[in-house]
Structure 1
Amino acid sequence: MGLFDRFKSKNKIEKTPEKSNLILSMPMFNSDENYALDKLIHDLESYWDLKISDISGDDSVATFNINDETVAVAIMPVPIPQSDLEGIFQYNYLWKDASEELKAMTNHAIVTVLSSETDFVERFKIVTKLNASILRTTTNSMGIYQGSQTLLIPKNVYLDFADLLHQDILPIQLWLYIGIINQETTSSAYTYGLKEFGNSEIEIINSTKIGSELYDFIHLIIDYIIGSDVVLKHGETIGFSAEQKIKITKSKAVYLEGDSLKLDV
């Protein structure tokens, strides 16, 4: 199984969380200047080496195909409501000054990768490249908001992580949120957005490891299960070697709604 060895229990029957088939994100801007469709298409073709076809629309609303996936881009002439963002500001370690900087937002775009049967990871790569091209070809872009993953990511950070795709590295930081809670003697961690990839969210509760160690550990877990299209289940174990067997237990979530898979780390 590559980096991880998994040892299954007898209880193999478990409903897999359904994958959302629509991918949505919102680039944000601080002036009324819009992206230029011709520059966007050129960047997608030249920087990312993507095949673009069936272009329809203009600088305000457009649809086209990227590697045969249908995408849509539309400018909304209003900022994203602050009420939609307020709950994210305090947890947003990738953009610490977002609450102040986003007061200058004047409008935003809606970027959508429409439903298809293509592998979900490949479609997330497309929306990442599309977002990055919008950011790179506009001087007034501020960053990206992804509500389904509670992510606010500033422009430069987004572009840096998106470039990992040139090295065939998954930009996990752009696809889901990893929360870290540091207590006096223990730390906890959780994911938000893993359900989009057909997995239950993961939590590590009251570990003796420090927060940064938990972040690195859970990042490796996520990279493995998304990159290898693996679904973790209650009663299994996961580890870095045949000797390490970290127990997986499904129960009521501590930091999330519903249930989560707990890793005994």
Structure 2
Amino acid sequence: MFGNSNFLGFVLLRDAEWDQEAFFSRLKEKWDIEPKNLENKDDEKIFVFNAGDYLVSLAYYPTPVPNGEAEQNAVFNFLWPDAQQEVAKHTAQIVVSVCNGMSVMERAKTFVKVCDSCIDDNTIGIYTNGTVYAPAFYRQNADMLKADALPLLDFVWLGLANDDGKLRGYTMGMENFKKLEMEFLNYSGSPHEFLSFMLAIVSYIVEGDVILDDGETIGFSEDQKFKITLSDGIEFNDRKTLKIDCKL
């Protein structure tokens, strides 16, 4: 159902230029990743190398992401009000992918480290997990890896929507970890509390490699027993999602 869980993202660039030597320098200096078996395709800026057990590829294209796709998905970043206008300014991209290796978690960490190393003054955003991250936000979360913490918000995007006066939330990126995407319904607290609650659920599932099943309940106290239902997605009309009803 979930394929090979290859991590894929697009580093959006303001100007059609990429200093690959600076990228490899940042990758080594910040993350101590020394590329192995490095291949460079002819004169093009396409690089393939091994980072430990993981196969990394980067492909620079002096063109924007086609069909306005990045701009359309930038709207889902509710933390970045000007995302669509800023993303529309990108003229080039670096396509980043990380695959192979036995550990999905280590593959995710490697992906974040590689994307973080792509960020410089020419970076407008990181398009992954169905939205576009602001560079500073992505880097701030990536830096958590330096403290042996997980950059969960780089791993999985948490979306918010208003639904008849109640908050509705959803994940984008759980499928990379071979989990179903989740939708959270009928939350009546503050947006900040809601995000913290969703992040706690994501942390529990991703860090513990937990599988939630239809008909179960979940919560973090005796008073919390939220029902889990598997059904057609609300935010995602092309797949089934796990719904967590947050109404107490």
Q: TM-score, normalised by structure 1?
A: 0.83
**Residues 237-258 of structure 1, C-alpha deviation per residue, up to 9 Å, x if partnerless?**
2222466433222223322223
Q: Distance between the aligned counterparts of 1:35 and 1:94, measured in 2?
A: 29
Summarize the alignment of residues 125-164 of structure 1 with structure 2, pairs less than 5 Å apart. 125-135=109-119, 138-146=120-128, 149-164=129-144
What letter corresponds to residue 196 of structure 2 in structure 1?
Answer: D
Summarize the alignment of residues 1-265 of structure 1 with structure 2, pairs less than 5 Å apart. 17-37=1-21, 39-57=22-40, 60-81=45-66, 83-114=68-99, 116-135=100-119, 138-146=120-128, 149-183=129-163, 185-241=165-221, 244-257=224-237, 258-265=239-246
Given the superposition, is the C-alpha separation of residues 143 and 83 from structure 1 closer, same or farther in structure 2, using an over 3 Å criterion?
Answer: closer
Q: Distance between the aligned counterparts of 2:75 and 2:59, measured in 1?
A: 29
Q: Which stretch shows the higher mean deviation, 153-162 or 96-105?
A: 96-105
- Report the CA distance between 1:82 and its aligned residue: 5.0
Q: Is the 8 A contact 1:188 1:211 kept in 2?
A: no
Q: Is the 8 A contact 1:95 1:152 kept in 2?
A: no
SS at 1:113's partner residue? strand
**Residues 70-116 of structure 1, C-alpha deviation per residue, up to 9 Å, x if partnerless?**
111111111113521243233222332122222321211111113x2
In structure 2, the gaps of 5 or more residues are none
Percentage of matched positions with identical amino acids: 30
Larger radius of gyration: 1
Given the superposition, is the C-alpha separation of residues 251 and 183 from structure 1 closer, same or farther in structure 2, using an over 3 Å criterion?
Answer: closer
In structure 1, the gaps of 5 or more residues are 1-16
Given the superposition, is the C-alpha separation of residues 20 and 143 from structure 1 closer, same or farther in structure 2, using an over 3 Å criterion?
Answer: same
Q: Is the 8 A contact 1:237 1:247 kept in 2?
A: yes
Q: Distance between the aligned counterparts of 1:105 and 1:87, measured in 2?
A: 13
What letter corresponds to residue 13 of structure 2 in structure 1?
Answer: F
Q: Is the 8 A contact 2:174 2:181 kept in 1?
A: yes
Q: Which stretch shows the higher mean deviation, 27-36 or 178-187?
A: 178-187
